[in-house]
Structure 1
């Protein structure tokens, strides 16, 4: 591992895969005018701020072109396929992206802590701290231009005025929320969660900018990409929520993308992502709808029953076809016994109702994993 990549200034604040994809895209457009400026914006955006050194400062230290006055070098023009030194710098970071950290390096204990035998304390963020960190993050996004696509630039020549207030009132019916204040969001957690979801739908990542010097106005951003902006937003917000004890995260897939859902373990998260990514028509839509019902923040027993019932319908359609190839007859019968006899699909007096909610959770994940099994069988049949 390159030793400098272990330093804190080399921490990514984007998902690693997104950085590699955007770096590759920019390298494939290396003949465009203003490439160096666009690359500087990418590095400033993708890596942690607040350090004097790091990928961006190294980028500026590298000459823009090879200097022909130095022995052994040659002029690099816009028409050549050769990379400039600064383009080589980006290519190096992209090629070694797997060595870059996505989280801060582990904190090393100093003398007094080691002497006292104290282990680093790992405490979950309390709500006031979480809200404060979120408000700080939104300020960072705003300064980086992520809100300009929807909110506009708060420019000395063209202030935002009531643009943000009008949008928030239209969507949430609340006034006086912008700029965000920690006290109100801490006192009203439902409003806080609404704001988290609302801002997800407003962000877009800029890839160009110009500096407006008048009255120190600052950067104006352009060429916005909604998809990558929302990926970065979800990733940054989920890092914050992951350090709390709330058990919530912004969904990155399915019908409820960009909405706060309950957290599951990595295996079930991967399962949900896999089935949500399917394009099998109506059955895939039913599965995505079931996921949204089940994962919704604060979902009750009735919503979870509806989600399980929707999955049971998908399995029913596959019962005598693909499911017959995947499971023995007795196993298929047991699957539908769960739905038919435990107050999931029917309402008659024969239904068993006195079971805990965690049993309903278990049925949901059994059904979802069975659907994933049948998806794999379907794929094998199509390719075979």
Structure 2
């Protein structure tokens, strides 16, 4: 469901990567409502005292397991006035809740205890939970999205999003394909530390690409750039070589492929986006020129 403002002026750009108190308040309310209506009884059932079935969520079990899997939590975050957890823990909570949720379906009414016995449509419950969470992400311009598989992913910048979502690496070199796919998966993660690892995998792929067909690196990069520029574009060829040298140097000077203390650290998501976009464009163009050559 979209709002009038979105239909009139379009959705907010998805470029924010911080969950503020207002966003967390909405997420907390979604989780709280499903604790209350018994939705998490799909995995954490509260049993009827007469043993006739599930009547809701066993909130104690729900919390105990959540806290064991997300150990930084020190109080039930869905309780009123509970402090907002660290952002990565909040995102982990969403994934945990997706695995536990189901749409409760009321069955027989137990008049003595005044409750219904419940069954659960897990697929529908997960879909509705996912829609509610993603609406909050979308309305607040956040880069996060809860996927159909229950994983929080980080949306790629628009210039890369379509390419990365459709990319299937089939270069003929299985190790190169694995490095490229690994870099893509890590790039789409919400955790900055894991996204940094995407750069290492991409730079490793770049180094391997230079030596395809058994060529030495210097000859390999020269062949790649010749193929990419063509014989009639000497200025483009010079620009490509300048860029290739600069990117190789960045891989050695920044804390991408090397972890020495004198290497400059990558400290933000925007830096990861810039570096990944810059090298991925060259790698993709080189691969395509090789396929068409």
TM-score scaled by structure 2? 0.61
Is the 1:251–1:260 Cα contact (8 Å) retained in structure 2?
yes
Report what 1:252 is aligned to. 147
1:339 — aligned with what? 247
* Residues 1:314 and 2:205 aligned together: yes
Asked if 1 retains the 8 angstrom alpha-carbon contact of 2:32 and 2:79, the reply is no
- How far apart, CA to CA, are the structure 2 residues paired with 1:189 and 1:372? 33
CA spacing shift, 1:340–1:248, aligned 2, 3 Å: same
Q: Distance in 1 between matches of 2:177 and 2:69?
A: 29
Matched, 1:167 2:65: yes
Q: Counterpart in 2 of 1:239?
A: 135
The alignment status of 1:266 with 2:171, answered yes or no, reads no
In 2, distance between residues paired with 1:231 and 1:327?
45
Name the CA distance, whole Å, in 2 between partners of 1:348 and 1:153: 50
1:164 positional shift: 0.9
CA distance in 2, matches of 1:229, 1:162: 21
Counterpart Cα distance in 2 of 1:352 and 1:139: 45
- Segments of structure 1 that go 5 or more residues without pairing to the other structure are 1-101, 108-121
- Per-residue deviation, residues 80-115 of structure 1 (Å, max 9, x unmatched): xxxxxxxxxxxxxxxxxxxxxx213349xxxxxxxx
User: Is 1:362 aligned to 2:274, yes or no?
Assistant: yes
Contact 1:271 1:369 in 2 (8 A): no
Secondary structure, aligned partner of 1:327: helix
Q: 1:217 to 1:363 in 2, by over 3 A?
A: same
Q: How many residues align?
A: 252
Q: Which has the higher contact order (CA 8 A, sep 6+)?
A: 2
2-structure distance, mates of 1:218, 1:326:
70
Provide the C-alpha distance between the structure 1 equivalents of 2:160 and 2:177, rounded to a whole number of angstroms: 17
Residue 359 of structure 1: CA displacement?
6.0
Equivalent pair of 1:323/1:332 in contact (CA under 8 Å): no
Q: Distance in 1 between matches of 2:97 and 2:226?
A: 46
Show the counterpart of 2:233: none
- Distance (Å, rounded) in 1 between the aligned partners of 2:65 and 2:208: 44
Spell out, residue by residue over 1:28-47, the C-alpha distance to the aligned partner (whole angstroms, 9 max, x if none): xxxxxxxxxxxxxxxxxxxx
Q: 1:354 to 1:186 in 2, by over 3 A?
A: closer
Matching of residue 196 in structure 1 with residue 94 in structure 2: yes
Distance 1:199 1:360, change over 3 A: closer
Please list the CA deviations of residues 217-251 of structure 1 after superposition, one character each: whole Å capped at 9, or x if unmatched.
336234534xx765554443122123336x44136
Over the aligned positions, Cα root-mean-square deviation in angstroms equals 4.8
CA contact (8 A) 1:128 1:182 kept: no
2:228 aligned residue: 327
Q: 2:28 aligns with which of 109, 124, 135?
A: 135
Q: Is the 8 A contact 2:133 2:146 kept in 1?
A: no
* 1:365 CA displacement: 0.8
Of 35, 41, 45, the residue aligned with 1:152 is 45
Report how far residue 133 of structure 1 moved. 1.7
- CA gap 1:308/1:104 in 2 versus in 1, 3 angstroms: same
Q: What's 1:103 paired with? A: 2
Q: 1:167 to 1:316 in 2, by over 3 A?
A: same
Counterpart selection for 2:76 from 173, 177, 181: 177
Distance of 2:122 and 2:136 partners within structure 1: 25
Cα displacement (A) at 1:274 = 2.4
Q: CA deviation at 1:337?
A: 1.4
- Measure the CA separation in 1 of the matches of 2:41 and 2:176: 38
Larger radius of gyration: 1
